[in-house]
Amino acid sequence: MSKLGSSNTTEVESSARPRHVAVIMDGNGRWARRKGHPRVFGHKYGAERVREIVEFAGQKGVKYLTLYAFSDENWRRPVEEVGAIMHLLEHYLRKERRALFEKNVRFKTVGDLSRLSTGLQKLIAETVDMLDHNTGLTLIVAVSYGGRAEITRAVKKIADKVFAGELNPDQIDQELISRHLDTENIPDPDLLIRTSGELRISNFLLWQSAYTEFYFTDVNWPDFDGVEFEKALVAYANRERRFGQSAVHSSVGSENASKLGASTC
């Protein structure tokens, strides 16, 4: 499969850098099988790769980094694999949150956390609180997350307010819907990266990705290092984002579109 946006450019101007990058971290299992190891081995190395990418994204001026760690559909995987992934998430938070604090990283999650163990829910809440006052990169982990489920939750919240008389149906618009999503106060992603050669978004940030630029690469997540991340940034910088408008109006459209759906934290 050919990669999008190939270029000889090695540096990306700050004005052309994406503010928010989302990543579907795919290919851990395939990477492990090719090396003759069980899938869990790939998840372990994938978790190690997160540290490098978080640091690299911060150095490149990315303000928000959303990582798709575990989807609604992933609950259907074998119990042993699900347990291993949850253990790795817990291990990552315990091991890395002090380093994240020192690097001025904020931490958030999106998804249905009620399906996680009580202990993991508590650890996530503690980590969010610990890093809440940091002002650098915001790391968002999508766990037990599905785009359709997220939209369904938002619709139910809005319906409850209408039923209670707190909201008139005529007041429902795109901005209000965005405020009821898990990503409230987080800007929509400018760039979405998917590793491992798959060409779909797999129920990830469906509402938020309406005008997101997509970048697909054959590289499996455990091999997706800073060099590969830079390729995605260069590809993004070489594109013209029009948001449905003509080229002459694209600069205005880009400014306006960045304001839709969310405000900054």
Four-CA torsion 7, 66, 226, 50, nearest 10 degrees? -160
26 in active site: yes
Helix locations, the chain, DSSP H: 28-34, 39-59, 79-102, 118-130, 147-163, 174-179, 226-237, 250-257
Instruction: Given the residues 26, 182, 188, 190, select the one marked as catalytic.
Output: 26
Q: How many angstroms separate the CA atoms of 97 and 109, rounded?
A: 14
Tokens 């929509």 sit on residue: 188
Contacts 24+ apart (CB under 8 A), 52-58: 52/225, 52/226, 53/23, 53/224, 53/225, 53/226, 53/229, 54/100, 54/103, 54/105, 54/137, 54/139, 55/103, 56/226, 56/229, 57/21, 57/137, 57/229, 58/103, 58/105, 58/136, 58/137
Query: Do the Cβ atoms of 238 and 42 come closer than 8 Å?
Result: no
Q: How many angstroms separate the CA atoms of 213 and 210, rounded?
A: 9
Q: Which of 62, 69, 147, 48 is nearest to 106 (CA)?
A: 62
Distances (CA, A) of 195 to 105, 168, 199: 24, 43, 9
104 in active site: no
Instruction: Given the residues 28, 72, 74, 132, select the one marked as catalytic.
Output: 74
214 forms beta bridges with 192
Q: Supply the residues annotated as catalytic.
A: 26, 74
